[in-house]
């Protein structure tokens, strides 16, 4: 069975910490930074469980600020 | 497989659209406008029509849309976007002309311009963001505000006796002979975003093909105006907005040609 | 060979617009100017020059169509009469603020309110002082004949494109409705897409090969930048004031008294002055052709020559204020007006001169 590896990059500078990507992710990959803020004062989203990512792009799709890009590798 | 092995250009499946300008938007965190802007940029890019697209920006939260998408824009007076689009399109054949309007712009002050552009069957696309509130001016009642909903000008909740009823304008537009495609979508889930993308693309294709007016209403959130978190706002929208503004196609005349 | 035709001023506007190579007309019916749209509809220029003609759902929509078309670099116009022009003020302010060329015809009727459908000049203040919100001016042309109705279409468009600011033809119900002979201009071709792009590099007509987007907007929330924008508008207005003042003088060489009148009323004044001259009274006439920019300098010069001035207007006294500003108290400046659609005859004008200036009593 094919195994899917995913990864996301988040433009923390652009992120407004709205949390919608965290909610949309089916694999609990993302969380908002509990302490750190970006230079606009937002607790930006970050990857906490990279190995769980399946590259489904749900997070990027709902992101209002287009700060998430998604990569996917399907290993057969 | 390591992150470095996955994060390579050849594995990229979702990118920031090239047509989105490299600026911060003024929208509040979680605002639906951002998602819809992204879709517009993606679609214009994918259709390869950035060189011949003219966007008409409204008055309201999307007033600065022209700063965010790298196409030609005309900023309209409040409610007048469909009038501008009418002329921009008729005087410039072959251009893709779309308006981007909120509920105050389209269904209050611009009701006449909207209905008559649709009734003439102008070959334009209308993107209608319905978040049931005036965002830019600080959360006042919109025509689409639900009964009981608290806003800055209905602090005790909208009452029919005082403020009239919520206006579902899209069904009115669907009745007009000039419209070819009228649909109501949302952007609260990945699946909904993808459906909205297909709807806007279809509207843009209709406009270019001269099939008449297309209207894509996007039932949206204004979490700041509603005084909720973005996630709460999405849930509130599903529970309350979809009853008055149910999602789905209201009209789709595929083969109609003018 | 010259084509001499007999037609109404409103009809002449329609013919002249097509012959200028205008790209679009957007209007809404209102008396006494509906013949503009009716004539265009009858002439069907969309089948010949490709000019777009559209009856809008309101004056507000029509002026905003003009705004949308002008923003793409096209030569577009609208026409209306006083109550309709009030509705258009929103769009006119936006046109001025976005530095867009456009032509607006006001065939004035009596007001205020719904008023009357008879001729008036009561929109002088509205036309020359801005009309809508904000600090701006329109280039205002005042035709006195059907020929000038035709000629001012090209003049209005040309000035409007030259300075990137809207122009208005401020006519009255008399020149709109009366029939006179007119020599129509030669048919000019409409500009091609390429010509529009070359002439209007700012136009939001689709990026084409441009490496940047064009945005037409009147919005600027940064006060420092908005002040710069306003200063740019004012600099344009100064250039227009320096270069585009137009007026016509009659019998001013030896005049002891001066009548100032614009539009069709100037012709009645001329008749009165000819009658007065026959009786030995040395009266001259100055007819401003541009109401903005106003012939301030020339009127100031004449104030050193004459003993008094009288403005004759179809209103309660509007242009008289600009004449007084020009004269700066040097000589008495009086006003004679009729209102509500009433038009003075030459005898009334002579009586007004006599009652204001003792020397002119016969």
DSSP collapsed to 3 states, chain B: CCHHHHCCHHHEEECCCCCECCCCCCCCCCCHHHHHHHHHHHHHHHHCCHHHEEEEECCCHHHHHHHCECCEEEECCCCCHHHHHHHHHHHCCCCEEEEEEEHHHHHHHCHHHHHHHHHHCCCCEEEEEECCEECCCCCEECCCCCCCCCECCECCCCCHHHHCCCCCCHHHHHHCCCEEEEEEEECCCHHHHHHHHHHHHHHHHHHHHCCCEEEEEEECCCHHHHCCCHHHHHHHHHHHHHHHCCCEEEEECCCCCC
A10 and chain B: CB distance < 8 Å anywhere? no
pLDDT value, residue A2: 86
In this structure, CATH architecture of domain A3-75: 2-Layer Sandwich (3.30)
Enumerate the residues of chain B whose CB falls inside 8 A of the CB of residue A16. Answer: 28-30
Enumerate the residues of chain C whose CB falls inside 8 A of the CB of residue B52. Answer: 206-208
Q: What's the gap in Å between the CA of B25 and the closest CA on chain A?
A: 8
Domain ranges of chain B: 25-252
A44 and chain B: CB distance < 8 Å anywhere? no
Q: Is the peptide bond before C112 cis (omega within 30 degrees of 0)?
A: yes
Tell me if there are at least 3 CB pairs under 8 Å linking chains A and C.
no
Q: What's the gap in Å between the CA of A28 and the closest CA on chain B?
A: 15
Q: Are strands C103-108 and C76-80 parallel, antiparallel or unpaired?
A: parallel
Contact A73 B11 (CB under 8 A): yes
Residue from the list B7, B25, B188 with its beta carbon closest to the beta carbon of A71:
B7
> Residue B95: CB partners within 8 Å, gap ≥ 6?
B52, B53, B54, B88, B89, C205, C206
Enumerate the residues of chain A whose CB falls inside 8 A of the CB of residue B185. Answer: none
C76 and chain B: CB distance < 8 Å anywhere? yes
Contact B88 C219 (CB under 8 A): no
Q: Which of B91, B94, B178 to mutate to test the interface with C (most CBs of C within 10 A)?
A: B91
Per-residue confidence in pLDDT tens, chain B, 258 aa: 899 999 999 999 999 999 999 999 999 999 999 999 999 999 999 999 999 999 999 999 999 999 999 999 999 999 999 999 999 999 999 999 999 999 999 999 999 999 999 999 999 999 999 999 999 999 999 999 999 999 999 999 999 999 999 999 999 999 999 999 999 999 999 999 999 999 999 999 999 999 999 999 999 999 999 999 999 999 999 999 999 999 999 999 975 444
In this structure, CATH architecture of domain B25-252: 3-Layer(aba) Sandwich (3.40)
Enumerate the residues of chain B whose CB falls inside 8 A of the CB of residue A49. Answer: none
Q: Which of B88, B94, B100, B176 to mutate to test the interface with C (most CBs of C within 10 A)?
A: B88
Tens digit of each residue's pLDDT (9 = 90 or more) over B175-184: 999 999 999 9
pLDDT value, residue C1: 61
Enumerate the residues of chain A whose CB falls inside 8 A of the CB of residue B35. Answer: 62-64
Residue from the list B3, B34, B194 with its beta carbon closest to the beta carbon of A65:
B34
Tens digit of each residue's pLDDT (9 = 90 or more) over A46-56: 999 999 999 99
Per-residue confidence in pLDDT tens, chain C, 362 aa: 678 999 999 999 999 999 999 999 999 999 999 999 999 999 999 999 999 999 999 999 999 999 999 999 999 999 999 999 999 999 999 999 999 999 999 999 999 999 999 999 999 999 999 999 999 999 999 999 999 999 999 999 999 999 999 999 999 999 999 999 999 999 999 999 999 999 999 999 999 999 999 999 999 999 999 999 999 999 999 999 999 999 999 999 999 999 999 999 999 999 999 999 999 999 999 999 999 999 999 999 999 999 999 999 999 999 999 999 999 999 999 999 999 999 999 999 999 999 999 999 87
Enumerate the residues of chain B whose CB falls inside 8 A of the CB of residue A57. Answer: 13-14, 190
Q: Is the pTM of this model over 0.90?
A: yes
A48 and chain B: CB distance < 8 Å anywhere? no
Q: Which domains does chain C have, with CATH numbers?
A: 4-193 (3.40.50.970), 248-360 (3.40.50.920)
Helices and strands, counts by H and E, chain A: 2, 4
């Amino acid at each position: 069975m094919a195994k899917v590896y995913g990864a996301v990059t988040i433009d923390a500078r652009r992120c407004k910490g709205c949390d919608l990507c965290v909610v949309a992710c089916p694999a609990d990959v993302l969380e908002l930074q509990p302490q750190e803020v970006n230079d606009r004062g937002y607790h930006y989203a970050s990857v906490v469980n990279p190995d769980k990512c399946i590259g489904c792009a749900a997070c990027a799709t709902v992101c209002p600020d287009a700060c998430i890009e998604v990569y996917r590798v399907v290993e057969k | 497989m390591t992150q470095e092995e996955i994060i390579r250009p050849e594995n990229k499946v979702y990118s920031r659209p090239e047509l989105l300008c490299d600026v911060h938007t003024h929208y509040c965190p979680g605002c639906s406008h951002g998602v819809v802007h992204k879709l517009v940029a993606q679609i214009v890019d994918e259709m390869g029509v950035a060189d011949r697209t003219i966007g008409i920006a409204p008055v309201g939260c999307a007033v600065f849309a022209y700063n965010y998408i790298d196409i030609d824009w005309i900023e309209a007076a409040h409610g007048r976007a469909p009038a501008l689009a009418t002329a921009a399109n008729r005087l410039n054949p072959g251009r893709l002309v779309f308006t981007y309007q909120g509920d105050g712009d389209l269904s209050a002050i611009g009701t006449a311009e909207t209905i008559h552009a649709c009734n003439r069957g102008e070959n334009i696309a209308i993107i209608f963001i319905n978040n049931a509130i005036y965002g830019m001016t600080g959360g006042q009642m919109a025509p689409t505000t639900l009964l009981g909903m608290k806003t800055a000008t209905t602090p005790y909740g909208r009452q029919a006796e005082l403020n009239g009823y919520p206006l579902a304008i899209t069904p009115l537009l669907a009745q007009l002979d000039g419209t070819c495609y009228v649909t109501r979508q949302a952007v609260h889930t990945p699946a909904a975003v993808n459906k909205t993308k297909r709807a806007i693309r279809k509207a843009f294709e209709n406009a270019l093909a001269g099939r008449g007016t297309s209207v894509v209403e996007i039932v949206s959130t204004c979490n700041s105006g509603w005084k909720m978190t973005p996630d709460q706002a999405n849930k509130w929208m599903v529970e309350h907005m979809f009853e008055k503004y149910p999602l789905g196609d209201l009209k789709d005349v595929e083969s109609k040609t003018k | 060979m010259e084509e001499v035709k007999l037609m109404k001023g409103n009809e002449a506007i329609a013919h002249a617009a097509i012959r200028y190579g205008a790209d679009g007309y957007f209007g809404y019916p209102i008396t006494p100017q509906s013949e503009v749209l009716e004539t265009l509809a009858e002439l069907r220029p969309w089948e010949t020059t490709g000019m777009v003609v559209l009856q809008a759902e309101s004056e507000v929509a029509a002026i905003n169509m003009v705004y949308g078309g002008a923003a793409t670099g096209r030569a577009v116009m609208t026409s209306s009469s006083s109550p309709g022009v009030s509705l258009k003020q929103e769009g006119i302010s936006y046109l001025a603020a976005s530095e867009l060329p456009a032509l607006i015809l006001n065939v004035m009727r009596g007001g205020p309110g719904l008023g009357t459908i008879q001729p008036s000049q009561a929109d002088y203040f509205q036309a020359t002082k801005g009309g809508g919100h904000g600090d701006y001016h329109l280039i205002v042309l005042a035709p006195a004949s059907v020929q000038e109705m035709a000629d001012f279409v090209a003049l209005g468009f040309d000035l409007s494109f030259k300075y990137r600011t809207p122009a208005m033809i401020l006519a009255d119900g008399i020149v709109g409705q009366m029939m006179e002979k007119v020599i129509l201009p030669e048919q000019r071709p409409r500009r091609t897409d390429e010509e529009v792009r070359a002439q209007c590099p700012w136009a939001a007509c689709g990026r084409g090969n441009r490496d940047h987007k064009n945005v037409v907007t009147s919005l600027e929330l940064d006060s420092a930048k908005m002040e710069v924008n306003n200063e740019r508008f004012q600099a344009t207005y100064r250039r227009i004031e320096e270069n585009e003042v137009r007026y016509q003088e009659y019998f001013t060489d030896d005049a002891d008294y001066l009548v100032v009148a614009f539009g069709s009323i100037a012709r009645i004044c001329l008749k009165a002055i000819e009658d007065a001259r026959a009786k030995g009274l040395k009266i001259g006439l100055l007819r401003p052709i541009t109401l903005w920019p106003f012939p301030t300098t020339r009127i100031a010069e004449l104030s050193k020559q004459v003993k008094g001035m009288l403005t004759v207007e179809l209103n309660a006294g509007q242009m008289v204020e600009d004449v007084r500003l020009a004269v700066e108290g040097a000589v008495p400046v009086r006003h004679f007006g009729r209102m509500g659609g009433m038009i003075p005859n030459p005898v009334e004008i002579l009586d007004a001169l006599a009652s204001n200036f003792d020397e002119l009593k016969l």
